[in-house]
Amino acid sequence: MNQAILDGSGLGALERVRRSWELAVASAQRRPVYGRTTGVGENRSVTLGNPTEQDRRLLRSHASGSGPGVPTRTVRATMIVRLNQLLNGGSGIHPDVIPAIAGPLPTATCRACMATVPLGRRTCPRSLKSPSR
């Protein structure tokens, strides 16, 4: 099958997403929330001002890949898996993200999606590998 079927049967899931987002927003108004009101990783102790700008920066910092191109079918399948995870309602994402992911699924094509190659013993250049034990 080469076509995604979106039938709207998960409308309760959209309500979970909305409630999760509202809870995340309310929590961030009361205390620091990792990645929402603070930076991430080494910047976790940095307090951020504008959550919308933080969302954009975080998205842009993760919007890259390397390695071989990925077939469109694989990209669609990955988008469906991510959509399913988000519809569980635990991420705190804005509800508008759901149709932004689901909308293009039936016709999505991918000209430049690349697999991210993890750094590890197999993929690192010999000079970067940790010594054998």
Q: Is residue 94 part of a domain?
A: yes
| Residue of 1, 27, 24, 39 lying closest to 93 (CA atoms) | 24
pTM (two decimals): 0.67
What are the structure tokens assigned to 33, written together? Answer: 């929330």
Q: What is the pLDDT confidence band of residue 129, given thresholds at 50, 70 and 90?
A: very low
Q: Is residue 54 part of a domain?
A: yes
What are the structure tokens assigned to 64, written together? Answer: 């890259």
Please report the pLDDT score of residue 123 as a whole number.
Answer: 43
**Segment 11-55, tens digit of pLDDT:** 688 899 999 999 999 998 899 888 888 888 888 898 887 777 777
Active site residue 34: yes
Active-site residue, selected from the candidate residues 15, 22, 34, 88: 34
Domain that holds residue 51: 11-113
Q: Please provide residue 56's backbone torsions phi and psi, each rounded to the nearest 5 degrees.
A: -65, -45
Q: Is residue 121 part of a domain?
A: no
Please report the pLDDT score of residue 30 as a whole number.
Answer: 92
Number of domains in the chain: 1
Q: Is residue 120 part of a domain?
A: no
Length of the chain: 133
Task: Return the CATH number at 26.
Answer: 1.10.275.10
Q: Is residue 127 part of a domain?
A: no
Residue 89's CB is within 10 A of a number of other CB atoms, namely 19
Please report the pLDDT score of residue 74 as a whole number.
Answer: 83
**Segment 70-104, tens digit of pLDDT:** 888 888 888 889 999 999 988 888 899 898 888 88
